[in-house]
Amino acid sequence: MVRHRKHGSRIDLPEDMFLIDDILLFPTTGLKFIFRTLQQVAEQEYTDTAPLKARLLELQVDLENGDLTEDEYVAAERGIILELREIEKRKRELAGAATDEAAGHSG
């Protein structure tokens, strides 16, 4: 029960009122959840080093099998290492952004 401000009388609010609020706010909260999930998946893919590491292993096997020359291997390896460094840089930037956001919300 809720007390009416002007008259001091009690007003009975149905318990379903909270359910109605949830239903009315669902489009907003649902979209926020979807966008947060999409952002997390995108960040995971954007910072995933596994495909590059797998490619590096493939290159090593190709070199050992004679499918690549030493020069081809070195050139491909250099490109992969540069990409790995970029991903590590992204991870640090995202971690910094997350830290900055947390600091902004708490202050």
The tens place of each residue's pLDDT in the chain, 107 residues long, gives 444 455 555 555 556 666 777 777 777 777 888 889 998 888 888 889 999 999 999 999 999 999 999 999 999 999 999 999 999 998 888 888 766 666 655 44
Helices 70-106 and 16-46 pack at an angle, to 10 degrees, of: 150
| Residue extents of the structural domains in the chain | 1-43, 47-107
pLDDT of 2 reads 46
* CA count, 13 A, side-chain hemisphere, 6: 0
